[in-house]
Structure 1
Amino acid sequence: MSVQSTAPASDIDLFSDAALLEPYELYRELRDLGPVVYLPRLDVYAITQYAALREASTNWEVFSSARGVGMNDVLNEATEGLLICSDPPDHRTMRKVLERPLLPDRLNDIAPFLREEAGKVVDQVLTRGQFDAVTELAQHLPLTVVSKLVGLGDYGRVRMLEWAAASFDALGPMNERTAAALPKAQEMVGFALNEARPGTIDPDGWAAALYTAAENGELPVDKCPHMVVDYTAPSLDTTILGIASAIWLFAQHPDQWQLVRENPSLIRHAINEALRLESPIQRFTRLVTRDHELEGFAIPSGARVMLLFGSANRDERKYSHPDSFDVNRKPSDHVAFGTGEHACAGMNLARLEIRSLLEVLVPRVERFELIAAERTVSSVLRGFSKLDVRAVQGAS
């Protein structure tokens, strides 16, 4: 029988503005303390290392999402019914329907459409030469997916980005940032409940297919509005930030961009490497359903644990030179999309969107030059709110 140890404690505040902007040294301190670290400021156990995080992520019976994935009870109660805030069997029932348009064969069908849209937006930004890689490049494909494929049209589009960002900010502990985000997050839920319904949405879109599935008895109809939110909020900021961070990394490391230009087959590895190094989602929480031992450390029933994806993806126990951007690395086992039962349902779509843009950019751009960058300050997300770059064009 193993002897359980008490988890080491740390007074690090992961939700200060400074920590949200520059978390990696703090993550390293926490990893050095151990795979499980108790944070008394938040009354939460942080899972800091890669192996421990994968183990917790794949054990949904103990590390439950059904009581929410945020750091405050208000949002956790309000998000009950979302795919991300459920466990089997409900989770599997909803996911089976939600994933249909996201399966590989369906994504193959929309790949030409995404590449065409990627070509349009790349033409626009390269004509200018200097552009904001967030608002003028990265936002285009995710918003197009929501409007044309999910089938929401321009209905709610003006507010969608604001709502999506707020839905992640509202996952933080109950502080000023969270309090300011909660009403906007609730607006998004209200939009899905009251407005994004049959009669206003595209009858051929993904959202309408949810209601068709409910009519066929595959899931309760009251799950449909929550699943519309699942198609929108998680798919916007995460992909947008992933695209912009990849451009930033290539601007910082022109030698890596040149490697990709010389060998475009490296694009898929470069995408995974960018997601590993700058994980758009840095953390979610789970509720522990019973006393449990993780890597020799005792975690009591009823405790909240924080899965630090951003830390695990830079764990030196897993990746050599983890802070380096290396497009020859093949980190397909990164946890930027989570893992296990709650692995991101839209991860293949996100990869396809990023790949569509890079495949158009690679033969046309010799290098990216960074002009100015502003990081977003978010309780959960990491990336840029503004990223001004100059694209120097040249033949491959």
Structure 2
Amino acid sequence: MSSSQPNQTGPTPPPLVRLVEIPGRGRALIASGPIKPGQVILTDSPLLVYPSSLSSLPSFCSRCFRLLPSQPLPCSSCHVALFCSVRCLSLSHPPLLCHALPSLLSVPSSSPDLLFLLSAYSLPSSSVLQLLTLHSYSILPNELTQTLHSQLCSLIPPNLIPMNFNHETTASLLSKEKVNSFCLMNPRSGTNGDVEETGVRAYGIYLSASLFNHDCLPNACRFDYIDDPNRENNTEFTIRALHEIAEGSEVCISYVRVRRGYRVRQRMLMEYYGFRCECDRCKIESQWKENQGDEEVGGDENGEEEMEEMEGEEDVEGEMEMTEEEDGEDFPHQYFFLRYVCECGGTLAPLPPSHGGIPSDLMECNVCGTVKKDEFGSTGGA
């Protein structure tokens, strides 16, 4: 999600990390000093949150995106959006989106892109400029962006046309969204403690979080608590360290599920983000014989899946399963999966250290929310 050049007008890194240029890798965040296991590296609020699809509207508040109560409050203007409380209803949702929602019901195939564009164009002009500073990867053909812009023109009345509304801005916004959006997931629940697969309820653009580069064995991961009733800023999320990170080391998250096999990861990263991963794990797994490394290693997904249509579009094809031939030197990252991958497939990270700086011996899953004792007990790196 990081761009290839530092941008002084764009997002700024949090204090625990600093922005640098790494030859051959581009812009990156490195640790300003030692980072403890579980330490919160970033707390970020979204510049923009928008529904994932029209089908999510009946289930989630159109303002805070929490699960709706049994008797939600409808928008008195569009009668499509629903809200969880009087407060959210009073704050409402973007006027462009409100005006367009009834008409969007007739073009469901284009609705995800249009939901984003209508929400983005509803931002203050200064926020739109911030969004346009993010890295982009154009994966939409020009004909499609032309079609989407024409659809926008038919949805937006003359009195609501935003500043800088033109095809070029529309195309640029779409290219930013594809590589910088994070998924806010549906709740995961099941019977007898099982965790069910889930989908995406909304997408969010987080300026500072977009600075983190990808690694297939990340040293940090994202936690969100969107349905927590005690959190006022419930769409805010944190990025925490999995293990100790030395000063000067790059801090990375994973853009796709950690358990993905080599070929699947490479395909997804190229398709959604436009790059081929050459991390240490990929270098090792690229040498495995055909079909090894495209099955399951343990766990299901790591909760960092932003653009897979992702943590919710559970492509189970080609996941990894370790064989006897893949231990030892052929599978040196086995420890990572044993310690940091939850049974549900999420990523485990220690709870934040105590006020005295003592690392926690409890691990929290960023998908199912399970908190359990760290069976390994070491606080060093993976």
Calculate the TM-score normalised by the size of structure 1. 0.28
| Greater helix content | 1
Higher relative contact order (CA 8 A, sep 6+): 1
Calculate the TM-score normalised by the size of structure 2. 0.28
